[in-house]
């Protein structure tokens, strides 16, 4: 014990010995002096002369310098002291050439900043787990980001959503889950009125409510920040309504007041007791629309303002989230759940089972997916662009490293004499390499520090671009920091090695004799420099081609004809449901809105649609065509978008046949619907569909007569093909879904400026009717390309950055070679060469580098863009135009970068050049 | 050079500790003289090599130092054995004697056969 203690203590002492060097040196000098004095006195006592006494004492002591050195080594830690000396020497060198240092540090900062920023976002979006206890034990029955429910027969394949009946059954079975929760497959917008709000507190606020089973919080693994979370007690049918507020809602809307626990909040008019506040970091299992309230499933009718789904066995509206028992695997849980599910279905249908149904039940199964990351909309949308961006910034870092490598190489040339002198004085080559490596790592560290600052700023900006409202918050955390440190050290070593070894190779006699300057330069060094430049040009080309392809895809997406006129349209979202409209009076509301908006100045046409175009919502049904026998296995899926009169006019669509839905299509009249071309192609090929009837469901509750055919128009995503769509009359709609919709206004002026007028017009009709948002149609369409736009913009940005870095590098190298060859140019000019010859000679060098870069870059780009294929639209991965544009941009900028120093070379005055040192 | 230095360093430390145990607090010169006297002329080493060894012992807390005044009124740095140093000395002395005894047995055993 004491031995270990001793040596540990000794190390601490030596560490301390690194400081207070001067004082310690002085003390040791005093000790040696006292030693000599004592010895001399002794010698004098023994009868020596004073000179002999002193000489003898010095001889006996031995080499003072050597003693000092050994003493110093024993006192401190020689490795650290050398390192410290190298660092101080490096810093002194940097101070002497601030321009060089700033360029190098900034270049590294850009490279590392870009990498850290993108990796931070990558980490937050793709790698981070939910902020809950042991997220790795969570499994989900679905990872579909689309919300919504499905009604009809039980699925005969994978079950992603469940009815109340099935989910209740499974939750009671002894499955290998610590707990199994049922969660509504989406959020509901509700109105909120707080109990203590004044009666005239203005219109109610809106909030998102998420219906969950009582064990939701314990399953997902989080507890309450204040109060309590929901418990299985809250799920009982006669339980008092309880709600848990999110931290964000509590902070912003409830002023962070702890006293709200136990108070009432009226959600859609039903009084819920706020029993607790969730933890600050907790946002549920989805990142798209974080809930403001979590409410027990049993309150579905009150929260969704829809008939109860609790008793309906044909409504598949819940997904399952399980926390595995400790030691259980996902596969075990899945197998056990599958057999329970099949058992349930078999028992339930009992003697009615046909053979076909038996086979269907045997195919019914669940597929649990890893729930650690939740159901992430961000992950689904941005996974591919983020992978691309990570590759892009890695290339930027490579270019930055090549640039810095070149700068260091050229400095190594300038420091040749210094190195030679140090070698001549007995410095070992290894020691020189160590010094240079220390310097380059030091540069990398300085660059990384600036890069981190840059990244910190860039992350927030970039993340605001992709997901302003996302509850996922990227921050520079430990893995990100580790990642930065690793790339920094790799970068430091990477660009440190070349100069270090070239210094190690220094030919002593030669370079001391020749001094710094030689006419032809060091061939090896020049070829290293040239390969780095060619590599930079090649990488820049890859990035430019990629940026070009993405930009052209985006352009193709935006130019894609949609089948309607997107300019001059304002969409005004309304929610009659939240204003307590019922089926009986909603048709009248629509008529009143229609009348009010028709008279509004600046409005050329008005209509109402159940689903806002290009908003991503729709409803899909299995259609039945009257008089048509369904072929076995035939898929008659159609979309339904109920619309009010003048929809075709307001949207600027084209009516091909028949008439559009009009004012006469009211309850009581024949149910009318328009269909699109895709519908006609699918179900009435070569026939006139007008007058035929179809319905939703098998068998349908009622039939609609086809009164018009519309030219195909894209209502969702231009990247998808157009499905058969039906447009029944909104005012005849008797399904609950009719209770929220979007007013479509075709305006004569700027649609955005009509927003306030439109809100006022809605209020004129009914002051209690909430407007859920206003947006121009072109804006809404543009937002469907957000991912593509951001990817194209960022890749272009980094491509530009890469190009800039590469050209700065090219410029630096050419400029340096020009200044090195000033003498040579002087001689040439003196011997009768023309300026143009010199210009051309220098430019030829640049062109050779460019050609070499392109020769490598073109095949590299061809290979790289293959990986981009899935993100391209309407343009091939090997698109010749994109390649040509990229090569042209790169070529012209590179030539300009080469031309500037070339012109300087051509304009040298021979008499000056010959004397140039 | 390495091996010889290690052996010398090891034994030198032991000699220093023993000297301090016998004579009490002493300065570097005194220790050097004492070692030289005891070993006769067999050990003639530069006095300078003593100081790194003293520093190492001090870092290991076997000895501690303090400036003082010598018999003839010279300022000198005095070294003094600590408790830990005393234990260290005991242990090392034991180890040394053991090693010596083993080696002695070896020599005793091999002598007749030569």
> Mean pLDDT in each 10-residue stretch from start to end of chain B (114 residues)?
46 88 89 82 72 87 87 86 90 88 84 53
Q: Flag whether pLDDT at A199 surpasses 50.
A: no
Contacts (Cβ under 8 Å, ≥6 apart) of A616: A716, A717, A784
Residue A413 confidence (pLDDT) above 80: no
Q: Which of A30, A60, A72 to mutate to test binding with chain B, by most B CBs within 10 Å of its CB?
A: A60
Give the model confidence (pLDDT) of A274-310 as tens digits: 999 999 999 999 888 889 999 999 999 999 888 888 8
- The residue with greater pLDDT, A853 or A517, is A853
- Which range (A604-618, A700-714, A874-888) has the least confidence? A604-618
Summarize chain B as % helix, strand, coil (round to 5): 65, 15, 20
**Residue keyed to tokens 């070896």:** B106
For chain B, how many helices (H) and strands (E)? 4, 3
- Of all residues in chain A, the percent with pLDDT exceeding 70 is 92
Count how many Cα atoms sit within 13 Å of the Cα of residue A605 in the half-sphere of its side chain.
17
The kind and range of the H/E element at A96 are helix A78-96
Number of domains in chain B: 1
User: 3-state SS of chain A: helix, strand, coil percent to 5?
Assistant: 55, 15, 30
Whether the model clears a pTM of 0.80, i.e. scores above it, the answer is no
Instruction: Measure the CA–CA gap between A871 and A886, rounded to whole angstroms.
Output: 18
Separation CA A900–CA A816 (nearest Å) = 12
Q: How does pLDDT run across A219-236, given as a tens digit for each residue?
A: 999 999 999 999 999 988
Express each pLDDT in A597-622 by its tens digit.
999 898 999 999 988 888 777 777 88
Average pLDDT, chain A: 85
Residue numbers of the domain that contains B84: 2-110
Preferred mutation among B2, B32, B47, B57 to probe A, highest tally of A CBs within 10 A: B47
Q: Which two tokens stand for residue A52?
A: 């002999």
Chain A nearest C-alpha distance from B108 (Å): 33
pLDDT at A633: 66
Instruction: Quote the pLDDT of residue A681.
Output: 92
The pLDDT of residue A177: 95
Q: Does A35 touch chain B if contact means CB atoms closer than 8 Å?
A: yes
The torsion angle over the Cα atoms of residues A722, A725, A730 and A735, rounded to 10 degrees, is -110
Determine contact, residues B17/B23, Cβ cutoff 8 Å. no
- Token duo for residue A330: 């996902």
Q: What is the pLDDT of residues A814-827, one digit of tens each?
A: 887 887 788 888 88
Q: CA angle at residue A387 from A382 to A393, to 5 degrees?
A: 115
φ and ψ at residue A582, rounded to 5 degrees: -115, 170
With cut-offs at 50, 70 and 90, classify the pLDDT of residue A369. Answer: very high
SS3 of A722, please? Answer: coil
d(CA A177, CA A219): 9
Beta strands in A711-842 (DSSP E): 725-728, 741-747, 771-776
pLDDT, position A507: 59
Q: What pLDDT is stored for residue A770 in this prediction?
A: 86
pLDDT of residue A653: 93
What's the complex ipTM? Answer: 0.84
- Look at residue A179 and tell me whether its pLDDT is greater than 70: yes
Let me know: does A328 contact A162? Beta carbons within 8 Å. Answer: no
Where along chain A do its domains lie? Answer: 23-73, 135-370, 382-558+786-915, 576-769
More confident residue, A479 or A722: A722
- Please compute the mean of the pLDDT values over residues A375-395 and round it to a whole number: 88
Mean pLDDT of A174-200: 82
> Cβ contact (<8 Å) for B55 and A64?
no
pLDDT score of A483: 75
The two three-digit tokens of residue A454, written as one number: 């840059």
Neighbouring residues of A653: CB distance < 8 A, sequence distance ≥ 6: A563, A564, A647, A710, A711, A713
Q: Which CATH number do you get for residue B104?
A: 1.10.10.10
Contact call for B72 and A60, based on CB within 8 A: no
How far, in Å, are A202, A274, A594, A759 from residue A765 at the CA level? 17, 34, 10, 10
Question: Does A517 have pLDDT greater than 50?
Answer: no
Residue A666 pLDDT class (50, 70, 90 cuts):
confident
Segment A531-547 mean pLDDT: 90
User: Whose CA is closest to A763, among A568, A579, A569?
Assistant: A579
pLDDT higher than 90, residue A720: no
Residue A699: burial class (beta carbons within 10 Å; 0-12, 13-18, 19+): exposed
* Cα torsion A148, A151, A154, A157: sign: negative
| Cβ–Cβ under 8 Å, residues A370 and A334 | no
pLDDT at A418: 76
Cβ density class B30-53: b for 16+ within 10 Å, e for less: bbbbbbbeeeeeeeeeebbbbbbb
In angstroms, the Cα distances linking A657 to A255, A625, A647, A681, A695 are 58, 19, 15, 14, 20
Tell which residue, A545, A456, A549, A603, has the closest CA to residue A853: A545
Sheet holding B26-27, edge to edge: B26-27, B75-81, B63-69
Q: Which residue has the tokens 């400790």?
A: A326
Contacts of A67 in chain B (CB under 8 A): 46, 48-49, 51-52
How many pairs of residues across A and B have Cβ atoms under 8 Å apart?
A: 82
pLDDT tens by residue, A497-516: 665 566 555 555 555 555 44
Quote the pLDDT of residue A202. Answer: 53
Candidates A10, A53, A68, A78, partner chain B, best to mutate (most B CBs within 10 A): A10
User: How much is the pLDDT for A835?
Assistant: 84
| Contact residues of B toward A, CB < 8 A | 27-30, 32-33, 46-49, 51-52, 55-56, 58-62, 70, 72, 74-77, 84, 87-88
**CB within 8 Å: B47 and A35:** yes
Alpha-carbon span A121 to A390, nearest angstrom: 10
What pLDDT, in 10s, does the model give residues A302-315?
Answer: 998 888 888 888 88
Q: What is the pLDDT of residue A144?
A: 81
| SS3 call for A324 | strand
Q: Cβ B28–A70 below 8 Å, yes or no?
A: no
DSSP state at residue A671: P
């Amino acid at each position: 014990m004491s031995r270990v203690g001793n040596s540990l203590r000794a190390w601490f002492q030596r560490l301390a010995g690194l400081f207070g060097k001067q004082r310690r040196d002085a003390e040791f000098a005093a000790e040696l002096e006292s030693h000599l004095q004592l010895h001399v006195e002794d010698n004098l006592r023994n009868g020596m002369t004073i000179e002999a006494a002193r000489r003898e004492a010095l001889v006996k002591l031995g080499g003072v310098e050597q003693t000092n050195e050994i003493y110093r080594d024993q006192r401190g830690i020689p490795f650290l002291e050398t390192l410290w000396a190298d660092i101080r020497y490096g810093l002194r060198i940097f101070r002497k050439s601030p321009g060089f240092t700033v360029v190098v540090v900034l270049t590294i900062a850009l490279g590392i900043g870009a990498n850290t920023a993108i990796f931070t976002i990558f980490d937050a979006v793709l790698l981070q787990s939910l902020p809950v206890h042991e997220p790795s034990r969570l499994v989900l029955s679905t990872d579909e980001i689309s919300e919504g429910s499905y009604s009809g027969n039980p699925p005969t394949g994978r079950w992603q959503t469940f009815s109340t009946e099935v989910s209740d059954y499974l939750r009671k079975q002894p499955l290998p889950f610590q707990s199994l929760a049922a969660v509504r497959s989406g959020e509901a917008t509700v109105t909120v009125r707080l109990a203590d709000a004044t009666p005239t507190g203005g219109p109610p606020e809106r909030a998102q409510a998420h219906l969950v089973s009582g064990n939701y919080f314990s399953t997902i693994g989080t507890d309450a920040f204040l109060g309590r979370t929901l418990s299985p007690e809250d799920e009982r049918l006669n339980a008092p309504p309880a709600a848990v507020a999110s931290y964000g809602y509590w902070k912003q809307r409830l002023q962070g007041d702890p006293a709200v626990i136990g108070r009432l909040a009226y959600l859609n008019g039903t009084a819920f007791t706020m029993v607790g506040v969730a933890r600050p970091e907790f946002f549920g299992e989805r990142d798209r629309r974080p809930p403001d309230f979590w409410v027990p499933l049993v309150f579905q009718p009150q929260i969704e303002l829809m008939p109860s789904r609790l008793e309906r066995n044909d409504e598949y509206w819940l997904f399952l989230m399980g926390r595995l028992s400790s030691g259980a695997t996902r596969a075990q849980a899945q197998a056990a759940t599958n057999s329970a599910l099949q058992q349930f279905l078999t028992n339930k249908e009992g003697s009615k089972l046909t053979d076909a149904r038996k086979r269907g039940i045997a195919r019914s199964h669940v597929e649990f997916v890893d729930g650690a990351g939740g159901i992430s909309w961000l992950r689904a949308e941005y996974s591919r662009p983020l992978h691309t961006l990570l590759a892009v910034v890695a290339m930027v870092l490579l270019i930055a490293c090549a640039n810095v490598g070149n700068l260091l190489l050229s400095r190594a040339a300038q420091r040749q004499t210094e190195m030679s002198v140090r070698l001549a004085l007995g410095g070992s080559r290894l020691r020189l390499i160590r010094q240079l490596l220390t310097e380059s790592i030091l540069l990398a560290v300085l660059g990384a520090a600036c890069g981190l600052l840059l990244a910190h700023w860039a992350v927030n900006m970039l993340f605001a671009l992709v997901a302003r409202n996302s509850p996922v918050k990227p921050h520079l955390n430990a893995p990100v920091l580790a990642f930065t440190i690793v790339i920094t050290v790799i970068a430091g070593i990477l660009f440190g090695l070349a100069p270090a070894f070239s210094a190690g190779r220094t030919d002593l006699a030669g370079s001391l004799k020749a001094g710094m300057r030689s006419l032809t330069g060091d061939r090896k060094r020049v070829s290293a420099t040239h390969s780095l430049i060619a590599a930079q040009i090649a990488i820049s080309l890859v990035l430019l081609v990629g940026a070009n392809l993405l930009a052209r895809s985006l352009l193709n997406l935006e130019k894609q004809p949609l089948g309607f006129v997107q300019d001059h349209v304002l969409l005004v979202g309304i929610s009659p449901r939240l204003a307590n409209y019922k089926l009986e009076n909603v048709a009248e509301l629509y008529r009143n809105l229609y009348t009010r908006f028709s008279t509004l100045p600046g409005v050329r046409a008005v209509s109402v649609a159940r689903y806002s175009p290009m908003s991503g919502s729709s409803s899909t049904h299995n259609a039945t065509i009257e008089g048509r026998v369904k072929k076995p296995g035939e898929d008659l899926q159609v979309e339904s978008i109920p619309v009010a009169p003048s929809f075709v006019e307001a949207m600027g669509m084209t009516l091909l046949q028949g008439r559009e839905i009009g004012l006469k299509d009211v309850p009581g009249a024949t149910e009318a619907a328009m269909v699109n071309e895709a519908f006609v192609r699918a179900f009435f090929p070569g026939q006139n569909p007008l007058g035929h009837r179809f319905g939703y469901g098998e068998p349908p509750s009622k039939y609609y007569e086809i009164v018009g055919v519309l030219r195909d128009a894209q209502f969702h995503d231009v990247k998808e093909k157009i499905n058969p769509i039906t447009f029944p009359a909104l005012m005849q709609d008797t399904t609950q879904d009719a209770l929220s919709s979007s007013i479509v206004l075709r305006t004569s002026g700027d649609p955005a400026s009509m927003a306030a007028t439109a809100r006022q017009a809605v209020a004129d009709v009914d002051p209690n009717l909430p407007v859920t948002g206003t947006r121009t149609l072109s804006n809404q369409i543009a937002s469907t390309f957000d991912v593509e736009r951001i990817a194209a913009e960022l890749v272009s940005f980094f491509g530009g950055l890469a190009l800039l870095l590469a050209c700065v590098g090219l410029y630096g190298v050419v400029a340096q070679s020009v200044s090195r060859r000033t003498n040579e140019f002087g001689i040439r000019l003196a011997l009768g060469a023309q300026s143009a010859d010199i210009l051309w000679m220098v430019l030829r060098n640049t062109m050779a580098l460019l050609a070499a870069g392109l020769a490598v870059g073109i095949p590299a780009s061809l290979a790289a863009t293959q990986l981009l294929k899935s993100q391209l639209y309407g343009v091939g991965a090997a698109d010749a135009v994109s390649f040509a544009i990229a090569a042209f941009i790169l070529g012209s900028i590179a030539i300009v970068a080469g031309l500037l120093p070339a012109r300087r070379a051509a304009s040298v005055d021979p008499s000056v050049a010959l004397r140039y040192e | 050079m390495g091996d010889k230095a290690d052996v010398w360093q090891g034994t030198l430390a032991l000699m220093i500790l023993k000297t301090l145990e016998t004579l009490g607090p002493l300065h570097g010169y005194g220790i050097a003289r004492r070692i030289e006297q005891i070993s006769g002329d067999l050990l003639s080493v530069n006095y300078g090599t003593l100081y790194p060894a003293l520093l190492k012992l001090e870092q290991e807390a076997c000895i501690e130092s303090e400036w003082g005044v010598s018999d003839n009124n010279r300022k000198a740095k005095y070294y003094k054995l600590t408790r830990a140093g005393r234990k260290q000395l005991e242990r090392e002395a034991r180890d040394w004697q053991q090693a010596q005894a083993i080696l002695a047995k070896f020599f005793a055993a091999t002598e007749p056969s030569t």
